[in-house]
A and B are shown apart, each in its own frame.
Chain A
Amino acid sequence: MKSTLSLFAILMMALLPLQAADLTARQIMERVDDRDDGDNGISDMVMTLIDKKGNKRARKIRSYIKDKGEDKQRIMFFMAPADVKDTGFLTYDYDDYSKDDDQWLYLPALGKSKRIASSDKSGSFMGSDFNYSDMTSRNLDAYDFRILDEKEVRGAKTWVIEAIPKTEEEIDETGYSKSVLFVRQDNYMVVRAVLWVNEGGRIKYMDSPKIELIDGIWFATKQTMTTKKNRRTVHKTELNFYNIKFNQPLDQAMFSLRRLEKGL
């Protein structure tokens, strides 16, 4: 649980806005990393995949998250479409970057759960434009950060921070050779990001057009990721979150293989 610390941070920032301006890029990113993003949360997510012709395809997913120490656990079940209903994913995202994340999946049609071994986070998350590294936190030590500019995004002041990976390994793992993040100065949320994909000349644009304060936690209830190539959209994903609740009584059994196989 980081909430007390983060609440304190928000308080500090409200009281001392001038100090914030003097932060280094690295310090800002640390605050982004330390921001309270909720614990014991439940949410429903509609993932809409939009191809370049505008064809849409929706998936509905219920997910549960829990912090276990510094690690993050997540279990997700597909609710729609019917063909993949009850397909489940269980992930343990370890704070220790040297350790590969664990991932299991359960295919109801197969009646079996499988552990997925992959050290690569650059692959697509559920066929969307988001990849796994977008869904997990980054290892700050693997980057050089630099403040490029300050810009307003939808009326809120942001720092525009460039992040360059220090190692080829980090590039391979995240799939990005460079990123530029728009960090809101009032709540340390990354509300926009431009991500340069390592291969194929693609650039991805993450945007959080809707941010809400839920149970005291800033949450992007709408997020988009648009993949572009030569300034043209190749594909786009829209995530809309509903029924978000934090601090729910979720016990450890919720994040187990047994639960994964049992379904919702």
Chain B
Amino acid sequence: MINIKINGQPIQAEPGKTILQVAKEHDVHIPSLCYHKDLNPTGNCRMCVVDVKGGRTLQAACVTPVWEGMEIETNTEKVMQDRKLTLELMLANHPQDCLTCDVAGDCELQDLAYEYKAEVPAWGAKGTRYAVDSDPNPFIRVDMNKCILCRRCESACAEIQVRDVWGVSSRGFDSVMVAGAGVPMLEARCESCGQCVAYCPTGALSNKMNYGVARAHQVRKVTTTCSYCGVGCQFDLQVKDNKVIGVHSNPNAPVNGMALCVKGRYGYDYIHHPDRLVKPKVRRYLLEGKQKSDIRETIFDTRKSNIELSNVGSPWAWVETEWDKALDIVAKKVAETRAKFGADSMGFLTSAKCLNEENYLMNKLARQVIGTNNIDHCARL
């Protein structure tokens, strides 16, 4: 351990850690933009500057390691002025559309501008420099006018997804983030995982599917487990008006942290698809007391079209019923089949998409109620 001072307070710090890390551990607030704890620090935004005694200039806390005897001031007038100027330089080149911006309220630049009372300078750039919503990727909305060149997207793609889609093109004021060599993201081999969006501190990269639908303070978050593959990623469903409108990374997710894949992050809209089954349905013949054996030849006659079969009058047409009716039909048929042909004449396919608790009940239904071990699911398929 080494001895340092932050704002006059003596602190024991672990050698090798950065000023920002040590300050965080001791609840000393240093603002940052390009820094994110998951990513390698790049020190390029200069928001985290601090005054180190003996230093020629202010130092970026995210990339400066602590040393024995180091004395750091985090909030002197000079430091505060410098950070404010940094913010003003960013705002001078940033659209003033917080009123309509999708990420207002969930924007690190906005929060810092508020904290530092940074105004848009009169000498700022006028008008937009890049096309808004410039990339055809169906999930990710790109608006480089809002980019502050923190390069978190580049780091997230390289260090989390390890796909290297993002990079910087040009120099100086013309610097801009590009996918590949300035091509659409998918052409730059983007996997649409949305990691860049999750780490973007502004509205430069946002989610296209729910653009303009809700802001951060208007949604309820529900932490849950993904319904696609066996990795078991967790994330926060964004809920507004009884609708899942998005999926956000939850940094505390045990398996995946902030990482998600395209299906987990963007494949959620099936939940509210109009095709969803909303009423129990039974075939008409069941309501008319007929036997399937009497009508089988007609219904599976391939010469008949589906439309004809689903005609209201057809014995094979679906009829919506109440739960009671449908459940009674099922229970009676199941009991009859068991009585007539024995327990092993029945098969149960449970579901690898359903809950543990539901799978347990299917096992109990087959074994306790019916008395058969004819139960399986798609593990083999």
A and B found bound together: no
